[in-house]
């Protein structure tokens, strides 16, 4: 089996590995690092393959798909779980809107996006698919976001299976069970390294603390603004608030509304669909017209996009409610350096409509990561016990340190260089 890491190994946001086994060539993920005119693509661009396996909807795993298919005359299929298909299209549509709003040319067009459903072959968990030459693909729950999957490849012949983790979470959350561990004897493991150097706080404790802080803020007359990623995080927050009996006016705004409606259609991919439906019933979906009146007269909770305050309705809430002096902002996701969210944490200032805006609000951070932390990653590798480990999809320090620490535990581990080729 031959592995080629196409700029994916040591850069968060560029996930793409070419796997060749016999006559079959498969791409594991087709991600980009989305940054407008500075968007980074896999190198070299993988425009030919027999199939693409997309682990989940996030752009750092799916964002290259339109360019791949618009540039390739072959009818190359891509495989993902049923929820991932509409979520991928949903996020890709948003990239067009974002680039156009910045007066930049999108790297693909609406016509390319319309072509995607023709090439998609949805696969349920634990339902193997056999390729033309006998290699078998099976998707396993990754516990990360709705429909996220690990890819298990069983080559035809005597080679042991390969397991690609995608993004994983072993500890169960409100929305999902932990990642599914295969029973196969794994020869090669490709594992994410995003948080290989740090732990996440205990989830139930964090949820209780978050809800207590929300409750106290409301009791003191403050509205709580929660910037959120549209897919995954927003739905998780609604369930956390509901299951911890936070009884207040909860508003949901921006792309999170459409993502929540999509999630309702795939409730079988959730840990507790009934609880999710009950949580959504308690929430008010916000129209643009109503947005201007929310939060000024009575304290409430507003969950809105975007999670890093780079756009979306969240900025209009910050600008308006900051003036009241009765606002708290609770960040629940990692704020990438250089983003508006990171600037808010570090300086208390945001850029709104191209101008600096001093935010008059207390800002708190909560680590509700959907990725495995350090101990989870070690536990994952030890449970699988592969013959060879490739530590990828993380910053350079995370990948290299994780590989070295795995070696100390007796594993044959490596952090592959971008563009490198390995025979396994």
What confidence tens digit (pLDDT) does each residue in 357-390 have? Answer: 999 999 999 999 999 999 999 999 999 999 999 9
Alpha-helix runs per DSSP H in 48-196: 59-62, 65-70, 84-101, 110-119
What confidence tens digit (pLDDT) does each residue in 11-39 have? Answer: 544 678 999 998 999 999 999 888 766 78
Residue of higher predicted confidence among 108 and 283: 283
Residue of higher predicted confidence among 42 and 4: 4
Domain 2-198+370-423 annotated CATH 3.40.50.620: no
Residue 7 confidence class, pLDDT cut points 50, 70, 90? low
Residue 347 confidence class, pLDDT cut points 50, 70, 90? very high
What confidence tens digit (pLDDT) does each residue in 134-188 have? Answer: 999 999 999 999 999 999 999 998 889 999 999 999 999 999 999 999 999 999 9
DSSP code, position 33: B
CATH 3.60.15.10 positions along the chain are 2-198+370-423
Q: Is 41 within 8 Å of 67 (Cβ atoms)?
A: yes
Q: How much is the pTM?
A: 0.94
Q: Locate 270 and state its tokens.
A: 């959730």
Q: How many Cα atoms within 13 Å fall on the side-chain side of residue 312?
A: 25
Q: Name the nearest CA neighbour of 57 among 126, 180, 144.
A: 144
Q: Quote the pLDDT of residue 19.
A: 96
Residue of higher predicted confidence among 342 and 67: 342
CATH 3.40.50.10890 positions along the chain are 203-365
Q: Quote the pLDDT of residue 100.
A: 86
Q: Quote the pLDDT of residue 9.
A: 41
Tell me what percent of the residues of the chain surpass a pLDDT of 90.
76
Q: Quote the pLDDT of residue 14.
A: 60
pLDDT at 112 over 90: no
pLDDT at 116 over 80: yes
pLDDT at 101 over 90: no
Q: Locate 243 and state its tokens.
A: 């299951």
Q: Quote the pLDDT of residue 8.
A: 45
Helices 273-281 and 233-243: angle between axes, nearest 10 degrees: 80
Q: Distance between CA atoms of 281 and 215, rounded to whole angstroms?
A: 20
CA distances for 169 relative to 124, 180, 261, 390, angstroms: 19, 10, 23, 18
Mean pLDDT, the chain, rounded, equals 92
Strands 327-331, 149-154: parallel, antiparallel or unpaired by DSSP? unpaired
Top-tier CATH class for 203-365:
alpha beta
Task: Starting at the earlier edge strand, list the strands of the sheet with 283-285.
Answer: 283-285, 250-253, 301-304, 223-227, 327-331, 362-365
């Amino acid at each position: 089996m031959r592995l080629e890491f196409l700029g994916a190994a040591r850069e968060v946001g560029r996930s793409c590995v070419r796997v060749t086994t016999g006559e079959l060539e498969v791409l594991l993920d087709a991600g980009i690092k989305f940054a407008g005119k500075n968007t980074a693509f896999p190198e070299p661009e993988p425009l030919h393959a027999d199939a693409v396996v997309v682990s989940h909807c996030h752009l750092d795993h799916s964002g290259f798909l339109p360019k791949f298919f618009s540039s390739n005359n072959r009818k190359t299929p891509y495989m993902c779980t049923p929820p991932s298909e509409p979520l991928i299209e949903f996020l890709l549509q948003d990239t067009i809107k974002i680039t156009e709003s910045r007066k930049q040319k999108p790297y693909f067009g609406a016509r390319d996006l319309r072509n995607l459903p023709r090439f998609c072959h949805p696969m349920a968990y634990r339902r193997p698919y056999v390729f033309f030459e006998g290699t078998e693909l099976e998707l396993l729950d990754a516990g990360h976001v709705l429909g996220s999957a690990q890819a298990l490849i069983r080559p035809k012949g005597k080679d042991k299976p390969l397991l690609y983790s995608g993004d994983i979470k072993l500890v169960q959350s409100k929305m999902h069970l932990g990642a599914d561990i295969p029973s196969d004897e794994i020869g090669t493991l490709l594992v994410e390294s995003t948080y290989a150097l740090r732990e996440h706080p205990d989830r139930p404790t964090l949820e209780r603390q978050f809800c207590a802080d929300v409750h106290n803020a409301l009791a003191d007359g403050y509205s709580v603004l929660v910037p959120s990623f549209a897919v995954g995080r927003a739905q998780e927050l609604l369930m956390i608030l509901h299951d911890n009996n936070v009884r207040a006016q909860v508003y949901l705004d921006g792309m999170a509304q459409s993502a929540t409606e999509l999630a309702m259609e795939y409730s079988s991919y959730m840990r507790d669909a009934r609880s999710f439906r009950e949580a959504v019933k308690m929430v008010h979906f916000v129209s643009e017209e109503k947005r201007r009146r929310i939060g000024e007269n009575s304290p409430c909770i507003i969950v809105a996009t975007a999670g890093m305050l780079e756009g979306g309705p969240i900025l209009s809430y910050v600008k308006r409610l900051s003036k009241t002096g009765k606002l708290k902002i609770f960040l629940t996701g990692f704020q990438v350096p250089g983003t508006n969210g990171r600037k808010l944490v570090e300086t208390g200032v945001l850029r709104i409509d191209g101008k600096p805006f001093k935010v008059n609000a207390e800002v708190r951070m909560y680590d509700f990561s959907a990725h495995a932390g350090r101990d989870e990653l070690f536990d994952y590798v030890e449970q699988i016990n592969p013959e060879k480990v490739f530590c990828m999809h993380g910053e350079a320090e995370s990948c290299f340190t994780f590989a070295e620490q795995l070696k100390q535990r007796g594993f044959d581990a490596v952090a592959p260089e971008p563009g490198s080729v390995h025979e396994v």
